[in-house]
């Protein structure tokens, strides 16, 4: 029995409980008064933010010495959003590595670009989340649970980065998995991808100036995203403080990555109900805000991503083919190509 199959049920049950323990008709009434002008502006901001995130990924791809046009990065990014909305912890976002494989035969190298991109994003979010804990403590009183939860997450994240930045340590920790869980026919592929992954990591580590530029860009992207989230609040008639959202939504992103729910349903609403109660905003408004945030930030772009995915399906294969074979596969499955 794979327990992971049943984890989404926890989120669904929690989400249903949150909705029905509130006033569903009041939530519907809040939505009936929504400002579509603000919704349109928020969607426009979402397009800009997606382009900025695609550009950051392209910068990371360039560090790996892979040529992949910005247009294709953007299309792959949208597919990543689509896959992320239907997987626990948004793990489906890693599908971008398979699209990138149309230009680079080493899957380990392609996977490295996506992992490094996620590390940059989470580093910024965790930094603001820790500030958010201080913010909550200073303005709303001490909350020991939040301190423990976020600091544990941050410590785990830093430890994971350290482990995976050390090839010898990662090899030791993964040796058991390699010998007992990787089928014999995939062992050579896995070895090759493991080595190419760490070769790519070493290349990135040596570009310290670029690392700081991308980190700075990541912070700018997240801070710009908060303006979009403010606009989402205005669409519902909520005037939310920028710095309140900056800290609270950083915590929301971390909560959404907890692998007990798809797209953060249930856990996101529960946390926002608590957070908004601190500034005297009711449960129903918090739930409406959470749902509209999901619709604009994830669902809208996810639908576009699914359409791209359907028209340009990706070959899920971790093997390392030669360039000629890779090009034929690319043509066959119609991966995004520079036009």
Each residue's pLDDT tens digit, 298-308 = 999 999 999 99
Q: Is residue 9 part of a domain?
A: yes
Q: How confident is the model at residue 266 (pLDDT cuts 50, 70, 90)?
A: confident
Q: Is residue 303 part of a domain?
A: yes
Q: Map residue 262 onto helix, strand or coil.
A: strand
Give the number of other Cβ atoms within 10 Å of residue 138's Cβ: 9
**CA atoms of 270 and 267, how far apart (whole Å):** 5
Q: Is residue 287 part of a domain?
A: yes
Nearest to 149, CA basis, from 241, 5, 254, 71: 254
Residue 5, pLDDT score: 64
Looking at per-residue pLDDT, the higher value among 201 and 319 belongs to 201
Torsion of CA 95, 97, 98, 102, to 10 degrees: 140
Q: Is residue 339 part of a domain?
A: no
Q: Does the pTM of the predicted model rise above 0.85? A: no
Taking the alpha carbons of 257, 258, 264, 267 in that order, is the dihedral positive or negative?
A: negative
Residue range 58-104, pLDDT digits in tens: 999 998 888 899 999 999 999 999 998 888 777 888 899 889 888 87
% the chain with pLDDT above 90? 40
How many domains does the structure of the chain reveal?
1
Q: Is residue 223 part of a domain?
A: yes
Q: Is residue 172 part of a domain?
A: yes
Residues listed for the chain: 339
Range of the domain at 216: 3-333
Q: Is residue 83 part of a domain?
A: yes
- 63 with 114: CB under 8 angstroms? no
Residue 180, pLDDT score: 56
Average pLDDT of the chain to the nearest whole number: 82
Report, in this order, helix, strand and coil percent for the chain, each rounded to 5: 80, 0, 20
Q: Is residue 57 part of a domain?
A: yes
Burial of residue 84, with CB atoms counted within 10 A of its CB: 0-12 exposed, 13-18 middle, 19 or more buried: buried
Exposure string over 92-116, b if 16+ CB within 10 A, otherwise e: bbbbbbbbbbbbbbbbbbbbbbbbb
């Amino acid at each position: 029995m794979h327990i992971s199959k049943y984890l989404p049920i926890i989120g669904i049950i929690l989400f249903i409980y949150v909705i029905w323990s509130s006033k569903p008709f009041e939530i519907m009434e809040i939505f009936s008064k929504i400002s579509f002008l603000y919704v349109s502006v928020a969607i426009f901001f979402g397009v800009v933010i997606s382009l900025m995130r695609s550009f950051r990924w392209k910068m990371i791809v360039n560090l790996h010495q892979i040529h992949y046009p910005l247009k294709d990065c953007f299309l792959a990014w949208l597919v990543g959003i689509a896959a992320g909305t239907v997987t626990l912890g948004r793990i489906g976002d890693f599908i971008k590595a398979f699209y990138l494989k149309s230009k680079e035969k080493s899957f380990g190298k392609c996977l490295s670009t996506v992992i490094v991109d996620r590390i940059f994003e989470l580093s910024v979010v965790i930094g603001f989340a820790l500030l958010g804990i201080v913010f909550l403590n200073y303005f709303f009183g001490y909350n020991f649970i939040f301190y423990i939860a976020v600091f544990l997450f941050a410590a785990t994240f830093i430890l994971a980065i350290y482990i995976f930045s050390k090839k010898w340590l990662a090899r030791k920790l993964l040796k058991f998995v390699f010998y007992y869980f990787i089928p014999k026919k995939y062992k050579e592929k896995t070895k090759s991808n493991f080595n190419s992954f760490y070769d790519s990591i070493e290349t990135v580590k040596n570009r310290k100036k670029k690392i700081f530029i991308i980190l700075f860009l990541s912070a700018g992207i997240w801070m710009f995203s908060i303006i979009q989230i403010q606009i989402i609040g205005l669409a519902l008639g909520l005037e939310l403080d920028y710095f309140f959202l900056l800290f609270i939504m950083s915590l929301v992103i971390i909560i959404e990555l907890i692998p007990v729910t798809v797209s953060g349903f249930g856990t996101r609403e529960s946390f926002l109900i608590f957070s908004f109660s601190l500034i005297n905003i009711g449960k129903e408004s918090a739930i409406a805000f959470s749902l509209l945030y999901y619709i604009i930030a994830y669902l809208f772009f996810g639908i576009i991503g699914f359409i791209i995915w359907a028209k340009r399906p990706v070959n899920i294969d971790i093997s390392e083919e030669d360039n000629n074979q890779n090009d034929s596969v690319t043509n066959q499955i119609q991966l995004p190509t520079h036009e």
